[in-house]
Amino acid sequence: MTYRLEFYRTLRGDQPALEYVRAQVETHRGKIGRALRALQELGHLARRPLADYLEDGLYELRIAADGLQHRMLYFFHERTMIVVTSAFLKNEAEVPPEELARARRYRADWLGRFGGKS
């Protein structure tokens, strides 16, 4: 089963995760794109090292490129859709609390506008 992948969009039309990807160098964009395609194919079956569950229905897509650790946070909606909320360069052992808080806000906003429950 292939999941539908969607990037969260703010009311202003910004897409934080997609903008993050576009800002990366070509080789990193390629790795991120391959990881997103794998996530689309695997969905809930994706495990480490590709993906990991964080908390509160949020997951992280894990992409290593040239010694850097890219992270994309996402959630599932109705078992057929993956919504990528945000992305960042991970420099710490744990996902920073502010990144989790941002992903929670974006998920709540998206669900309020489009989807009800995750």
pLDDT at 117: 63
The mean pLDDT value of the chain amounts to 96
pLDDT in tens, 42-100: 999 999 999 999 999 999 999 999 999 999 999 999 989 999 999 999 998 899 999 99
Percent of the chain residues past pLDDT 70, beyond the cut: 98
**Domain range 4-115, CATH architecture:** 2-Layer Sandwich (3.30)
Mean pLDDT of 94-115: 96
Amino acid in the structure at residue 47:
R
CA nearest neighbour of 29 among 40, 18, 45, 38? 18
- In this prediction the pTM is 0.95
pLDDT at 115: 80
**Cα gap 13→37, rounded to integer Å:** 23
- The ranges assigned to domains in the chain are 4-115
